[in-house]
Structure 1
Amino acid sequence: MIEAITSILRNGAAIKGNIETREHSKYFLSRNVELRLRLNLFVNVVHCKSNPGIKTRHKDIDIVLIRQNTEGEYSCLEHESVDGVVESLKIVTREKTEQIARYAFDYARSHNRKKLTCVHKANIMKMADGLFLKVCTEIAKEYPDIEFNNMIIDNCSMQLVSNPNQFDVLLLPNLYGNILTNIACGLVGGPGITSGRNYGPTHAVFETGTRNTGKKVAGKNIANPIAMLNASVDLLDYLQLNSYADIVRDAIYKAINIEKLHTLDMGGNATTTDVVNFIIDEVNSQTKIKAYQAQG
């Protein structure tokens, strides 16, 4: 873990697969959480958008989920006060809430998004989620061009699966963000499609959107590689290698929407190798075409 963090600190960015947390000792910190805390990756962004070639219950979904990535129930502050009684501290601070709220509203404005929904449980956790809602409501007044509303997490979960098209940008505390991200990814085709982006002030890490380990399909050549390939596109965009990102993005789109090379999880029979080889061939083909065009 130390080597990985040192590498990211040196290079500024990374792409990672999901890391399974097997050890459940109270002294063992999840490596995924540790990575986010050590690098101060305070925001997770997942863009869930329908693909025309993937059959799903709902169509035309286009939702961005922006999750606070370092506080809340993931603060890793737990202790056993007496035998058989464990206290797990949920940490919400004004500083971190202002940071994520401004990021979300700035994202909405810069990406021409019109509506932002703050998700909370302030009716029960009146102090912790109450602070999150209060701060987000205050920040919303600075962005009058963005429609703002709030929704309790229980209702939002139900609304997301029954009428997802009502949502544009969801602003989420840490745990609720984890839950709703998985739901939203499921709505557009499952865990094998969508990528996730983790940003800090100086570093970024790109991964699959749902953080599933995929352990059950390991070694069977049936895993869906699209989410990781989309993560590579995000990395290329972050590094401002936009022309390369566009080539890979177009190849992915062609694979799943035109050729409909779908792995088992999407109802198809394509293997992991089939999908990857097609995308490699398409990238090579488009790279040659662009090189030829550049020569005049």
Structure 2
Amino acid sequence: MTERITIVRIAGDGVGPELVESGSRVLESLGLPVTWVDADAGLTAYHRHGTTAPQETLDALRTHGLAIKGPFRTPSGGTIRSGNHYIRRGLDLYACLRPLPIRQDRPPMLLVRENTEDLYGAIEWMASPDVAQAVKVASRGGCERIVRYAFELARRERRAKVTLVHKANNLKLTEGLFLSTAREVAADYPEIEFEDVLSDTAAALMVREPERLDVVVTSHTVGDILSSLGAALAGSLGVVGSLDSGPGIHIAEGCHGDAGDLAGKGTVNPAAFFEGIVLLLDAMNAEREAARLRTALTRLRTGGPRAYDLGGGSGTAEITEFVCAEAAAS
């Protein structure tokens, strides 16, 4: 890729600044002609601007369309919403892709999570002083586009099967709409097998028979749980990348939280963040650069320095140096 590209950098909270610095170095090691635009979001941005996602940041993402982002810290309870909430819903980043390398002898399970509906809209209220209620949203259009995203991904990656994970046995309307819409979309892809399983069954399959799952598409809430389960089965949250996508916009990150207890110590595993960058390169159609970084990450897994979360003793800087050197030499 020779054309200059502009990528927004959002440092975020906790270990975010360290990861974004490492990710920037990795992208530059690939020889990409990058212009960086730094933007603010997260809890630190809230203390500076009074919002976790300033309008200037949303505008930069909308203008440039590509970003790497550190994790955000979000308080449980209270009234402060995550910057992710405003970014995903404000920019319609409806699809989240997380490859889960559960078995080393097989390609990763591709988890596709719907990103804007379900309970993520955070529509809730106090029906009485002792009763809180929330609305779960499923629209036909939202269900169709996320399922079609999954099937197009399966076709592009030459995967054999798409599995819808749901709870339509209990939530007859919302999850029922998800299921019926998925069956309709599946008819447009006769060469790809389609099945549906309940969310609890899917969790058991990931542990006992992960080879049965190829591309999985599910709601936001269930996807959050399954992605963390898959990362744990793969060894750590520090090895799973994530890509949020919508019309003309892609944001790469790791699948983990801000890990504030590790901030500034130089011990966070940057591999998940680098895996997210691979997904970003794929979205950019930077095929050669994506292949080089994949090769570097394969060498990291098979013979490179081992991070603390995987039982090793190598920190962020050492792992970053290794991946940069391997990517540059590939």
| TM-score where L is the length of structure 1 | 0.88
Say which of 36, 57, 65 aligns to 1:4: 57
Q: 1: distance between equivalents of 2:278 and 2:162?
A: 26
Aligned to 2:272, the other structure's residue is in SS state: helix
Per the alignment, residue 270 of structure 1 pairs with 314
In structure 2, what is the equivalent of residue 292 of structure 1?
Answer: none
Question: C-alpha deviations, 1:183-203, integer Å up to 9, x for none?
Answer: 112222211112111110121
Q: What letter corresponds to residue 135 of structure 2 in structure 1?
A: L
Aligned to 2:117: 71
Deviations 1:25-64 (CA, angstroms, capped at 9, x unpaired): 24x3221121100110011111123585xxxxxx535311
Partner of 1:253: 298
Q: Is the aligned partner of 1:236 residue 2:281? A: yes
> In the alignment, which residue of structure 1 is the partner of 2:156?
110
1:47 alignment partner, one of 86, 95, 99:
99
Which residue of structure 2 lines up, in the alignment, with residue 281 of structure 1? 325
Aligned 8 A contact 1:51 1:257 in 2:
no
d(CA) in 1 for partners of 2:146, 2:67? 21
| Counterpart-to-counterpart distance in 2, 1:236 and 1:150 | 31
Q: Is the 8 A contact 1:262 1:268 kept in 2?
A: yes
Please say if residues 102 and 210 of structure 2, whose CA atoms lie closer than 8 Å, have aligned partners that are also in contact: no
Q: 1:15: which partner in 2? A: 68
Say whether the 8 Å CA contact 2:61–2:67 is kept in structure 1.
yes
Q: Which amino acid aligns with 2:89?
A: L
What is the rounded CA distance, in whole Å, between the counterparts of 1:60 and 1:86 in structure 2?
Answer: 44
Runs of 4+ aligned structure 1 residues displaced above 6 Å come to none
What TM-score, normalized by structure 2, do the two folds share?
Answer: 0.79
Question: AA paired with 2:101?
Answer: K
Match of 2:168 in 1: 122
Distance 1:196 1:96, change over 3 A: same
| Cα distance in 1 between the residues matched to 2:159 and 2:325 | 35
Q: Which residue of 2 aligns with 1:174?
A: 220
Partner of 1:192, secondary structure, is helix
Map Cα deviations across residues 119-148 of structure 1 (whole Å, 9 max, x no partner): 111111111111111111122122221111
For 1:207, give the aligned amino acid: E
Gaps of 5+ in 1: 53-58, 287-296
Check 1:67–1:77 CA distance in 2 against 1; reply closer, same or farther (3 A cut). Answer: same
- Cα displacement (A) at 1:267: 1.3
- Deviating more after overlay: 240-249 vs 4-13: 240-249
Q: Output one character per residue of 1:208-259: Cα deviation in whole Å (capped at 9) or x when no partner.
A: 1x23222222222221011112222322332333333333332222222123
Count of residues in Structure 1 that have an aligned counterpart in Structure 2: 277
Q: Distance in 1 between matches of 2:146 and 2:328?
A: 39
d(CA) in 2 for partners of 1:167 and 1:51? 11
1:241 & 1:185 partners in 2: Cα distance? 26
Cα 1:132–1:186, aligned 2, differ >3 Å: closer, same or farther?
same
Structure 1 residues 108 and 247: alpha-carbon distance in aligned structure 2, compared to 1, 3 A threshold: closer
Q: Aligned letter for 2:155? A: R
RMSD: 1.8
| 1:82 counterpart letter in structure 2 | S
- Aligned residue in 2 for 1:34: 86
Identity of aligned residues (%): 30
Distance between the aligned counterparts of 2:81 and 2:273, measured in 1? 24
Whether the 8 Å CA contact 2:100–2:234 is kept in 1: the answer is: yes
- Answer yes or no: is the 8 Å Cα contact 1:41–1:200 preserved in 2: yes
